[in-house]
Structure 1
Amino acid sequence: MSRAVNLAMREEAITKHCRDEDIGISVLEALPGGGVRLVCDSVYGAEQIRLKLKRHMIDGDPRRAQLRPRTPLW
C-alpha cells in the first residue's frame, strides 16, 4: 500500500483535515495541473484519507513538477 494520495483540494483544507484526524504529513506537493500530492507518515493515515476523501481523489497518475534538472549541471 502506498503512502501517497493525489487530491483535488487546496493545501490548507488537506492540512486542516489531517490535523483534525491526527494524520501525519510527510510531504505536500502542488501538482501543475491542479490539486495536491499528499504523502502521509504512515500507510494507515493514507488509508484513512482514501476512505474519508474518496470523492476528492484524482484518478490516474497526474503529472508532477520536475524537481531535478534534465541535464547534468557539470
Structure 2
Amino acid sequence: MSRAINIKATKDHVIATCAKRKVPISAIEALLSGGTRVVMNNADDTALIAKAYGSKVITGTVTRTPTRMGML
C-alpha cells in the first residue's frame, strides 16, 4: 500500500482525524477535484486512516494542485 491516500473530506477534517488517532502527517494538500490528498509516514498509518474513512476514500483519478510554475 502507498503512503498517500485521497479522501472526500476537508483538509481540516483530515488533520483532526489524524490527530485523534495519533497518526503523523508527512504532507497534505487540498485537491482541485475536491477532497484532500494526505501522505502518512508509513503504510500502516495509511491503512488505519483508510479504514477510518471507509467509503470516503477516493479510488479514481484526482486533479492535484500544481506545485511548480513553468520555466520563467
Match of 1:15 in 2: 15
Question: How many matched pairs?
Answer: 72
For the pair shown, the structure with the greater C-alpha radius of gyration is: 1
Query: What TM-score do the two structures reach when normalised by structure 1?
Result: 0.87
Structure 2: runs of 5 or more not aligned: none
Match of 2:26 in 1: 26
Structure 1: runs of 5 or more not aligned: none
Deviation string, structure 1 residues 3-51 (Cα, Å, up to 9, x no partner): 0000010111111111111111011111011110010111111010111
Contact 1:32 1:64 in 2 (8 A): yes
Partner AA of 1:68 in structure 2 = R
Partner AA of 2:64 in structure 1 = R
Partner AA of 1:30 in structure 2 = A
CA distance in 2, matches of 1:23, 1:61: 25
Q: Structure 1 residue 59: deviation in Å?
A: 2.1
Query: What TM-score do the two structures reach when normalised by structure 2?
Result: 0.89
